[in-house]
Amino acid sequence: MSTLNKEIYEALLEAGVTKASASLAAESVEHSDLDKRLAIVETKLDTITKMMWIVVAGIIALVLKAYFVV
């Protein structure tokens, strides 16, 4: 468990929650945090992918212009 999860786990134990429930709660906090981070990374990756295709289209346009002058 990370430091934050240890803190949550210990706080739940001090509040009188059973060890099993405290452990599950600490793990669920970790998973929700990872889900949020993963969503942010996926969004950034989609944006980067779109920008890459714009660059590729520009390169193709320049190559076509160089070899097939109209």
The DSSP annotation for the chain comes to --HHHHHHHHHHHHTT--HHHHHHHHHHHHHHHHHHHHHHHHHHHHHHHHHHHHHHHHHHHHHHHHHS--
Higher confidence at residue 31 or residue 67? 67
Output the pLDDT for position 30: 66
23 pLDDT band, cuts 50/70/90, is confident
Task: Domain ranges for the chain, please list them.
Answer: 3-67
pTM, to two decimals:
0.51
- Average pLDDT of span 15-42: 81
